[in-house]
Amino acid sequence: AQKVTQAQTEISVVEKEDVTLDCVYETRDTTYYLFWYKQPPSGELVFLIRRNSFDEQNEISGRYSWNFQKSTSSFNFTITASQVVDSAVYFCALTLYNFNKFYFGSGTKLNVKP
Amino acid sequence: EADIYQTPRYLVIGTGKKITLECSQTMGHDKMYWYQQDPGMELHLIHYSYGVNSTEKGDLSSESTVSRIRTEHFPLTLESARPSHTSQYLCASSERGTAGNEQFFGPGTRLTVL
């Protein structure tokens, strides 16, 4: 069975602080994909990144970076120098190769205070 | 930018009413999905479709039904709404092919049943 765990329910930081959102996944499949989505207060989920299980290279996109470690089944997301606009709920998700369903974590609510 | 639309955005109705939540996408995606989500909480898959005339129930039992007569259209119907149906409903779509394709989400319909 597949499972995604986001243990941090809610995090509050002050603007310009760095923050890391944790994601731990479970699957016995060797080929899978991991995703991060952002859900701002408006409600729409916005795709941030996709990673396949064969690519453990970390990725940086502006203030965002992702750390994928198969050894610990984790796919953590770091925001550097956080801003108020980063306030949202962030979801980690897993899907398997040749399978259509996404398994979402329960989300982490990030509050960035000015 | 994803082109997936949901109407209405907000709906308040009385118990026992029949309602249809509309979802349309202009990207030609074969796969479409309906999720139920309480505000800021986990997403639960309630229906999905691989293409025209294909529909499947998701992981969360739901009293709603769906249809897929046209590629671009995936409406969700509640025959008799109840207060327990109060929630946000998110529609998503993704391309045919490997499961690694991200899902694009609509803005959601926030339903309140009195």
Q: For residue range B6-37, list pLDDT tens digits in order.
A: 999 999 999 999 999 999 999 999 999 999 99
The answer to whether A68 and A75 are in contact (CB under 8 A) is yes
Q: Compute the nearest-CA separation of B34 from chain A (Å).
A: 11
pLDDT at A99 over 90: no
Strands B109-113 and B10-13: parallel
Q: A95 CB near a chain B CB, below 8 Å? A: yes
Q: How many CB atoms lie within 10 A of CB A23?
A: 27
DSSP3 helix / strand / coil % (chain B, rounded to 5) = 5, 50, 45
Give alpha helix (H) positions in A1-114. Answer: none
Angle subtended at Cα A36 by Cα A32 and Cα A42, rounded to the nearest 5 degrees = 145
* B interface with A, Cβ–Cβ below 8 Å: 31, 33, 40-43, 45, 48, 50, 58-59, 88, 90, 92, 94, 98-100, 102-108, 110
Residues of chain B where predicted confidence (pLDDT) is lower than 50: none
Cβ-based burial of A1 (10 A; exposed 0-12, middle 13-18, buried ≥19): exposed
User: SS3 for A83?
Assistant: coil
Cβ-based burial of B57 (10 A; exposed 0-12, middle 13-18, buried ≥19): middle
Q: pLDDT tens for residues A33-78?
A: 999 999 998 888 999 999 989 888 888 889 999 999 999 999 999 9
What was the pLDDT predicted at B1?
Answer: 56
